[in-house]
């Protein structure tokens, strides 16, 4: 079985984005604020939006199941306030639940959290519990920078985040570290801000002893870990200079990387530097880069093709990357797959 740990509902019906725009307009003029029940999306609209995109790509590329979440760039935690974010996150998560219900063999949900700059993360706990307990979701996406490129909240290792971590541990669900849109004109959102977020999160983990306090807390760092694999020696050396244990002992029981890397040399490096036990297959479909690579004639985001071409992986390693590791990191998924289907 091939499980893609990183997929977004980037093809949601246009009425969802129209509702969001009305919500944003309402921040300036309350008379323009839409009522929640004004958004009406039928099941057929959801089917149509997925069958020609994510579902078609699954079939073409031979993958079986995608861990599915709202569009990352659309989370928009910097917009409005906690009330704004709560309404928007609830709507997006409900739509993911409906999509997963319509295609239960193909998708399983993870939630968007109603984060807002400066608002304590414990404010997200109610939505997290609702999605896990009522919708059957198996994890969440956690934005380390709700300010959208300005990093106004404490680092992920700060005790400010601890109430949320306590709930993640209690529910036994992981978080994928995933920023949203960039408000900072210096950072292109998918080309710079996303990679910055991944890299910054990993460096924050090095600087503290978070996993001493939460030994079973688990994070997935997407996009191949940002710059981390390419500069693995730098991070090993920095940890050593700080008097930390080797990274394989200090972080790799809790931190995992996905394979959203869009060229063969990048996947080759990732699989050479990072242990196979810490790599989860992912493609991000339909995500940041949708075109065809003129050097190969194949889609950039066809990451299974790259993994199939890696010559240094054993059959056991491939099984871990394609299926075994994601079951370990997302135990609620493992439990679901163990049930008769």
Read out DSSP for 103-118?
Answer: STTTEEE-EEP---TT
Domain region containing 137: 3-8+42-338
Which pLDDT score, from 0 to 100, does residue 287 have? 80
Assigned domain for 18 exists = no
Peptide bond into 208 cis (omega under 30): no
Assigned domain for 32 exists = no
Q: 95 by DSSP, 3-state: which?
A: helix
Report DSSP letters for 146-159, one per residue.
TTSSS--SPPTTSG
For residues 243-267, one letter each, b for 16 or more C-beta atoms within 10 angstroms of the residue's C-beta and e for the rest, the string is: ebeebeebbeebbbbbbbbbebebb
Assigned domain for 29 exists = no
Q: Which residues are catalytic?
A: 284
Report DSSP letters for 78-90, one per residue.
TSS-HHHHHHHHH
**Residue 41: which residues within 8 A CB-CB, separation 6 or more?**
13, 15, 16, 95, 98
Domains held by the chain: number: 1
Which pLDDT score, from 0 to 100, does residue 233 have? 98
Show the tokens assigned to 9: 């509902």
Residue that is written with structure tokens 């790259």 in the block: 306
Assigned domain for 248 exists = yes
d(CA 78, CA 148) in angstroms, rounded, equals: 6
The side-by-side arrangement of strands in the sheet containing 219-221 is 111-112, 140-142, 175-177, 219-221, 255-258, 279-280
Torsion over CA: 57, 58, 61, 65 (sign): positive
In angstroms, the Cα distances linking 71 to 84, 180, 184 are 17, 9, 19
d(CA 175, CA 3) in angstroms, rounded, equals: 17
Residue that is written with structure tokens 């404490």 in the block: 154
**Residue 8: which residues within 8 A CB-CB, separation 6 or more?**
68, 69, 70, 71, 72, 284, 286, 287
* Beta-bridge mates of residue 8: 69
Closest Cα partner for 97 from 68, 61, 54, 60?
68
Residue that is written with structure tokens 């509902």 in the block: 9
DSSP 8-state assignment for residue 298? S
Assigned domain for 28 exists = no
Could you list the pLDDT tens digit for every one of the 341 residues in the chain? 999 999 999 999 999 999 999 999 999 999 999 999 999 999 999 999 999 999 999 999 999 999 999 999 999 999 999 999 999 999 999 999 999 999 999 999 999 999 999 999 999 999 999 999 999 999 999 999 999 999 999 999 999 999 999 999 999 999 999 999 999 999 999 999 999 999 999 999 999 999 999 999 999 999 999 999 999 999 999 999 999 999 999 999 999 999 999 999 999 999 999 999 999 999 998 888 989 999 999 999 999 999 999 999 999 999 999 999 999 999 999 999 999 86
Which pLDDT score, from 0 to 100, does residue 107 have? 98
Residue 91 neighbours by CB distance under 10 Å = 18
In angstroms, the Cα distances linking 323 to 27, 35, 194, 283 are 44, 41, 25, 14
Which CATH number covers residue 167?
Answer: 3.20.20.140
């Amino acid at each position: 079985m091939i499980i893609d740990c990183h997929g977004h509902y980037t093809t949601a019906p246009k009425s969802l984005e129209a509702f969001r725009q009305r919500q944003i307009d309402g921040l300036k003029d309350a008379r323009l604020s839409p009522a929640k029940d004004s958004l009406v999306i039928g099941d057929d609209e959801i089917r149509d939006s997925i069958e020609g995109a994510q579902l078609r790509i699954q079939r073409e590329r031979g993958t079986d199941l995608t861990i599915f979440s709202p569009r990352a760039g659309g989370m928009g935690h910097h917009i409005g306030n906690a009330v704004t974010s709560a309404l928007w996150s609830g709507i997006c998560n409900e739509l993911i639940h409906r999509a997963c219900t319509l295609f239960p063999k193909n998708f399983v949900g993870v939630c968007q959290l109603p984060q807002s700059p400066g608002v304590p993360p414990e404010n997200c706990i109610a939505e997290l519990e609702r999605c896990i307990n009522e919708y059957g979701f198996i994890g969440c996406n956690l934005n380390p920078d709700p300010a959208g490129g300005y990093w106004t909240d404490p680092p992920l290792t700060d005790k400010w985040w601890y109430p949320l971590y306590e709930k993640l541990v209690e529910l036994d669900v992981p978080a994928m570290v995933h920023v949203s849109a960039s408000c900072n004109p210096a950072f292109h959102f998918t080309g710079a801000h996303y990679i910055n977020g991944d890299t910054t999160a990993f460096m924050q983990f090095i600087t503290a002893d978070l996993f001493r306090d939460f030994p079973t807390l688990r994070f997935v760092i997407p996009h191949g870990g940002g710059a981390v694999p390419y500069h693995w020696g730098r991070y090993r050396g920095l940890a050593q200079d700080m008097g930390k244990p080797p990274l394989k002992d200090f972080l790799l029981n809790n931190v995992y990387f996905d394979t959203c890397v869009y060229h063969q040399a990048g996947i080759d490096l990732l699989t050479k530097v990072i242990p196979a036990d810490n790599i989860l297959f992912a493609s991000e479909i339909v995500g940041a880069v949708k075109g065809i690579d003129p050097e190969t004639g194949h889609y950039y985001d066809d990451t299974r093709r790259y993994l199939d071409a890696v010559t240094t992986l054993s059959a056991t390693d491939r099984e871990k990357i394609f299926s075994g590791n994601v079951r370990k990191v997302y135990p609620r998924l493992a439990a679901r797959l163990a049930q008769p289907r």
